[in-house]
Amino acid sequence: MRYDVVVIGAGVAGLTAGARLAEGGARVCVLAKGMGSTHLAPGTVDVLGYDGGERVESPASVLPDFVSRHPDHPYALVSVAPALEWFAACVERGPKPGYRYVGSLEHNVLLPTALGAARPSALVPTTMAGGDLGDPAPICVVGFRVLRDFHASLCAANVARSGVEARGVEIDLNLHTGRAEENSLGIARHFDDPGFRSAFSTRVAPSLRPGERLGLPAVLGVRDPQGALTDLEQRLERPLFEIPTLPPSAPGIRVYDILRAALRSAGGRLVIGAEVVGASRDGTRVTSVRAHTSGHDHVYEARWFVLATGGVASGAIELGSDWVARENALGLSLSGAPADGAARFDPDYFAEQPLNRIGVAVDSSLTGEGTDNVLVAGAALPGAIPWREGSGEGISLSTGFAAARTVLEREGAAAAA
């Protein structure tokens, strides 16, 4: 099959690149071997939460210095603001009515985690904004026994230690599904139902005290989270917010839905289940990629490729039992790996691990080393430790956005030439 651009990977970076390319008029196909990281991530947009272990108050202020200290970091190659603006606009015109992301690069919002730590994020959905720990209003954290993935009393106990009054309460959700356990997504589907919300409000109200804001696990609906939020805040007459917890992540799935809709409405194609296992080249130009599909492999030809396959967590970059690291889809060179014979891991779990920053080697335009026409975006890039720095979505959005822009510019230049 022939396209202008083939994007490999349907996480935040891949869908962003695909949607931007389609919006720019390119014929795009996004190939993915499965669902991406969105379903597992909290759903906030984290740009820079921690710099060398120290909490960052303002990403905008810190980034220039951060980048000068980490010249190999993806932030050294791209600007963040345009991608965030685009994302916020996507959310607003997306399939979740009234749902918005708030915040800015100027100031990180501190939100409680399911453990009760305070985690900094740049943009957060309206359904989480009420949990800002910069606000001193006391919090009642409500959990449900049926949701084993969230523990209100532990969350509240740790929040309280950080200076905001908090207590934990467990109530019965009465789902009547016949299941002893339910995950966040299953519960979120119930919260999409106004009848359920009404019953829930009646059940939870007696446990709440005046002046308290209500913290729930991240279950405020998938289809209409803003509707759920507004409805519940009205019924319970207090601010309400959701707290991200163990996967599956309802807020993360909303992000997937939104980016998927952006890709679709711009005319882009998405193929789930097609794992890219090889490529053909003509010198330094990749001419096509081969996807493992049922029966016979499918070949996708394109003029440009965006590799947004993720890093180690998705299996895009793999360390064999021979201790050699490989990039699995196109076989591109890697950088940031420890030298041969050097330690790959530190015995201290919380130490900086030598293998952390490994990624696909790129030049300053995000073009993969040894290729002319493969751009790399997202967690596949070297130089960052997104889960520790709190930079995952920031990197994925900004590099996916930039990769798309670079391709469109080069296409335009090629057409003009």
Partner 1 sequence: MNPDTRHPTPDTPLFDLLRGSLDHCVKCTICETACPVSNVTPLFPGPKYAGPQAERYRDPAAPSVEWSVDYCSGCGICTQVCPQGVKIAELNAHARRRVKARKGVPLRDKIVGRPTLLGRLGTPAAPLANASLRLRPIRVLAEKVLGVHRDAPVPKFAGRTFRSWAKKHKSPATGRRVVYFHGCGTQYYEPDVGEKVVAVLEHNGFEVDVPLKQDCCGLPLQSNGLFDDARAYVLRLARVLAPHARNGAIIVGNATSCTLMLKREAREILELEDDPDLKLVSEKTYDICELLLELHDRGELNTDFRPLEESVAYHAPCQQQGHWIGKPALDLLALVPGLQVHEMDARCCGIAGTYGLKAEKYDIAMKVGEDLFQQVADSGAAVVACDSETCRWQIEHGTHKPSAHPIELLHRAYGL
Partner 2 sequence: MAAITTDVLVIGGGATGAGVAWDAALRGLDVVLSDRKDFSEGTSGRFHGLLHSGGRYAVKDPQAAVECIGENVILRRVAADNIEDTGGFFVTTPFDDPAYADRFVQGCRDTGIPCEEIDVAVALREEPRLNPEISRAFRVPDASMDIWKTVWALARGARDRGARLLTYHETVAIHRSGDEVTGARLRDARSGEEVDVEAAVTVSATGAWAGRIADMAGIEGVRVLPGKGIMIAMNHRLVNTVINRCQMPTDGDIIVPIRTVSVIGTTDVHVDDPDDRTIAQDQVDAMLEDGERLVPGFKRARALRVWSGVRPLFEDAKADDVSTRDVTRAHALLDHAERDGVSRFVTITGGKVTTFRLMAEETVDAVCRQLGRGGPCLTRTQALPGSEDGRFYHVSERLERKERHLQEDQLVCECELIPRARLEKAFEQRDTHNLDDIRRYLRLGMGPCQGGFCIYRATGILHQLDGMTAEEANHTLREFLEERWHGVWPILYGDQLRQARLDEWIFQGVLDVEHVQ
Considering the complex, state which of residue 282 and residue 322 has its C-beta at the smaller distance from partner 2.
322
**Hey, what amino acid is at 192?**
D
How many CA atoms does the CB half-sphere of 294 hold within 13 Å?
3
Question: From partner 2, partner 1, none, which one binds at residue 344 (CB under 5 to 8 Å depending on kind)?
Answer: partner 2
Residue 272 as a binder of partner 1 (CB under 8 A): the answer is yes
Residue 41 as a binder of partner 2 (CB under 8 A): the answer is yes
Considering the complex, state which of residue 205 and residue 313 has its C-beta at the smaller distance from partner 2.
313
Considering the complex, state which of residue 264 and residue 281 has its C-beta at the smaller distance from partner 1.
264
Phi-psi region of 267 (alpha: psi -120 to 50; beta: other; left: phi over 0): left
Span of 109-117, 154-162, 325-333, 394-402 interacting with partner 1 by CB under 8 A: 325-333
Interface positions, 109-148, toward partner 1 (CB under 8 A): none
Cα separation, 417 vs 400, in Å, equals: 26
- Rounded (5°) CA angle 52-54-55: 125
Residue 174 as a binder of partner 2 (CB under 8 A): the answer is no
Structure tokens at 250: 């309802």
Interface positions, 225-244, toward partner 2 (CB under 8 A): 244
Q: Which residues of 357-381 are buried (b: 16+ CB within 10 A; e: fewer)?
A: bbbbbbeeebbbeebebbbbbbbbb
Structure tokens at 218: 């991240």
Spacing of C-alpha 28 from chain mean position: 21
Question: From partner 2, partner 1, none, which one binds at residue 50 (CB under 5 to 8 Å depending on kind)?
Answer: partner 2
Residue 146 as a binder of partner 2 (CB under 8 A): the answer is yes
Residue 251 as a binder of partner 1 (CB under 8 A): the answer is no
Residue 293 as a binder of partner 1 (CB under 8 A): the answer is yes
Q: Of these, 62, 277, 319, 334, which contacts partner 2 (CB under 8 A)?
A: 319
DSSP-derived letter for residue 391 is -
Residue 162 as a binder of partner 2 (CB under 8 A): the answer is yes
Please tell me whether residue 349 adopts helix, strand or coil conformation: coil
What's the count of helices (H) and strands (E) in the chain, helices before strands?
11, 22
The site that binds partner 1 (CB under 8 A) totals a number of residues, namely 45
- Measured from the Cβ of residue 179, the count of other Cβ atoms closer than 10 Å reads 10
Task: Give least dist CB 61 to partner 1, A.
Answer: 35
Task: Give least dist CB 265 to partner 1, A.
Answer: 11
**Hey, what amino acid is at 391?**
S
Return the residue matching tokens 């015109």: 93
Interface positions, 175-234, toward partner 1 (CB under 8 A): 177-179, 183, 185-186, 189
Structure tokens at 115: 């453990």
Residue 238 as a binder of partner 1 (CB under 8 A): the answer is no
Question: From partner 1, partner 2, none, which one binds at residue 64 (CB under 5 to 8 Å depending on kind)?
Answer: none
- Rounded (5°) CA angle 402-383-387: 90
Residue among 393, 34, 39, 88 nearest 188 (CA)? 39
Span of 80-88, 186-194, 258-266, 384-392 interacting with partner 2 by CB under 8 A: 384-392
Contact between 5 and 307 under an 8 Å Cβ cutoff? The reply is no
Span of 8-16, 175-183, 300-308, 399-407 interacting with partner 2 by CB under 8 A: 175-183
Residue 113 as a binder of partner 2 (CB under 8 A): the answer is yes
Cα separation, 400 vs 23, in Å, equals: 13
Cα separation, 299 vs 216, in Å, equals: 46
Question: From partner 2, partner 1, none, which one binds at residue 266 (CB under 5 to 8 Å depending on kind)?
Answer: none
Residue among 390, 389, 385, 360 nearest 375 (CA)? 360
Residue 172 as a binder of partner 2 (CB under 8 A): the answer is no
With the CA atoms of 189, 210, 167 and 173 taken in that order, what torsion angle do they form, in degrees rounded to the nearest 10?
-30
Contact between 185 and 222 under an 8 Å Cβ cutoff? The reply is yes
Considering the complex, state which of residue 73 and residue 151 has its C-beta at the smaller distance from partner 2.
151
Considering the complex, state which of residue 151 and residue 213 has its C-beta at the smaller distance from partner 1.
151
Interface residue list for partner 1 (CB under 8 A): 1-2, 29, 32-36, 39-40, 177-179, 183, 185-186, 189, 247-248, 253, 264, 269-275, 277-278, 291-296, 298, 314-315, 318, 320-321, 326, 328-329
Interface residue list for partner 2 (CB under 8 A): 40-42, 50, 53, 55, 113-119, 146, 148-151, 153-154, 157-158, 160-162, 170, 178-181, 244-247, 311-315, 318-323, 344-350, 355, 386-388, 390, 392
